Structure 1
Amino acid sequence: SREALELLRHTEQSGSVTVTLSEPKIVDRNAIFRILRKVPEIRTADLAYYCFALAIPRESVDRGVLTDGRGGTIILKIGLP
């Protein structure tokens, strides 16, 4: 197939935190993603689980780089079985 399906999971300690995924940028065959978080002043005491599904073109990307909005970075090999 020409595309790889990648699933990006993210967990928040509060369901009141608004979470979105930035538009990916391709730099040197790396797909760069950022999880954007908007944290309200007062938060709820529930957990929130997110999963983003992405179709990544294999011919232009070798790996993905995801920053989670809290200082963490995850490197993803694109298209591995």
Structure 2
Amino acid sequence: GVQVNAVNPTLVSTNIYRHYTDDPDANNALLEQFARLHPLHGRASTPEEQAEVIVYLSSKAANFVSGQCILVDGAITLQGAATCN
């Protein structure tokens, strides 16, 4: 059968945030501001942390996981800042 799942990240530390504007200081300030919103870690997630969830969903261990939207968000949604819709 076909399994359809989604990963819903919040802030992921990638080059898009490091080069959001032409001002490196402004980019760093923006990244720090967003990172403080994550109550568990106080930082953005890494691409590797997001990939680990995708690897799990692609594995046999997730055989019975279907139709899910997995929040990989460092608990930011517990504050009401985002939802999985």
Task: Give your verdict on TM over 0.5.
Answer: no
- Give the structure-2-normalised TM-score: 0.29
- Give the structure-1-normalised TM-score: 0.29
Which structure has the bigger radius of gyration? 2
More strand by share: 1
More helix by share: 2
